[in-house]
Amino acid sequence: MAWKWYDSKVIEIREMTPTVKQFFLEVDEVADFDFFAGQFITLDLPISEKRLKRWRSYSIANHPNGTNIIELCIVHLDDGAGTTYLFNDVVVGSDIRFKGPSGAFYLPEKIDKDLVMICTGTGVAPFRSMINDILVKQKAFQSIHLIFGARYEKDILYREELENIERENQNFTYDITLSRDEKWLGYKGYVHQVYMEKDYSEDTKFYLCGWSQMIDEAVENLLIKKKIDKKNIIYELYG
């Protein structure tokens, strides 16, 4: 899908956790903003005179649904210029210019392999889009194992929705692992131990999304320790 520049208006902002917000953008002059589930858009924020320094990319967290509404799921970084602008200055009614949809981080039309989706924090956004897209289009899939990592229970994103999906779909497994929550009864630690202890079929596709520390370690583990062919490791690097 070819990208282009669009104008949009923020129509809703929801607090998901103390540091993460959902931003809903309504795209001007478009009835149906189409994209592949997993793609991202790039916002042009008024935070610098220099064009390239103003651009911040965000995965589209909703699935393509025939509307002109885009949902983003964004974590605020204390020292981050873009997210501080989004969290402090953007309100319902603000105008946001963006380009997109962009990126090649999406699933093939026919899903004929087991999928493992590994993410931390807002890295869950493209997977939430992909999973809902599969379910809404009633696409056949073999198995999906979603592994979500965060620090504390309060940081879990889209938990209720994903737990419901797990309850209703026996070939979808959802594991949460928390690195700092002493009281958590599930997996404790980073995402890596979760996929490392599982046995997956030989041609399983591993999709990773998040920041470089997690992605670098996961790619190394999958390639070297788990001997996964590199063509089966696909990732979206946030920075």
Which residue numbers belong to the known binding site for FAD?
Answer: 82-83
For residue 56, which phi and psi values (nearest 5 degrees)?
-135, 130
Told to check if 24 binds ligand FAD by CB under 6 A, we report: no
Neighbouring-strand partners of residue 57: 42
Give bridge partners of residue 44 from the DSSP assignment: 55, 97
Q: Which residues are bridge partners to 20 per DSSP?
A: 75
Contacts of 224 (CB under 8 A, 6+ apart): none
Does 80 engage in binding with ligand FAD (CB under 6 A)?
yes
Nearest to ligand FAD of 114, 233 (CB atom): 233
Q: Which is nearer to ligand FAD, 125 or 204 (CB)?
A: 125
C-beta closer to ligand FAD: residue 45 or 115: 45
Applying CB under 6 A, does 140 fall inside the site for ligand FAD? no
H-only helix segments in the chain: 81-88, 125-136, 159-168, 191-196, 212-220
Rank residues 1 and 140 by Cβ distance to ligand FAD and give the closer one.
1
Our finding on whether 81 is near ligand FAD (CB under 6 A) is yes
**How is residue 178 written in tokens?**
């928390």
SS3 155: helix
Q: Which of 21, 54, 56, 192 binds ligand FAD (CB under 6 A)?
A: 56
222 sits near ligand FAD (criterion: CB under 6 A): no
- Pick the stretch among 7-15, 50-58, 134-142, 220-228 that binds ligand FAD (CB under 6 A): 50-58
CB atoms within 10 A of CB 157: 23
How do 172-178 and 115-120 pair as beta strands? unpaired
# residues near ligand FAD by CB under 6 A: 20
Q: How far is the CB of 112 from ligand FAD (least distance, A)?
A: 26
239 binds ligand FAD (CB under 6 A): yes
Residue 220's CB is within 10 A of a number of other CB atoms, namely: 12
Angle 195-199-201 (CA atoms, 0-180°, nearest 5)? 110
87 touches ligand FAD by CB under 6 A = no
Return the range that interacts with ligand FAD (CB under 6 A); candidates 25-33, 81-89, 93-101, 221-229. 81-89
Q: Per this entry, what is the length of the chain?
A: 239
Q: Does residue number 152 form part of the binding site for ligand FAD (CB under 6 A)?
A: no
Q: Considering only 71-79, 132-140, 141-149, 195-203, which stretch makes contact with ligand FAD by CB under 6 A?
A: 71-79
70's enclosing H/E stretch is strand 69-75
- Per CB under 6 A, residues contacting ligand FAD are 40, 56-59, 73-75, 77, 80-83, 103, 122, 125, 211, 236, 238-239
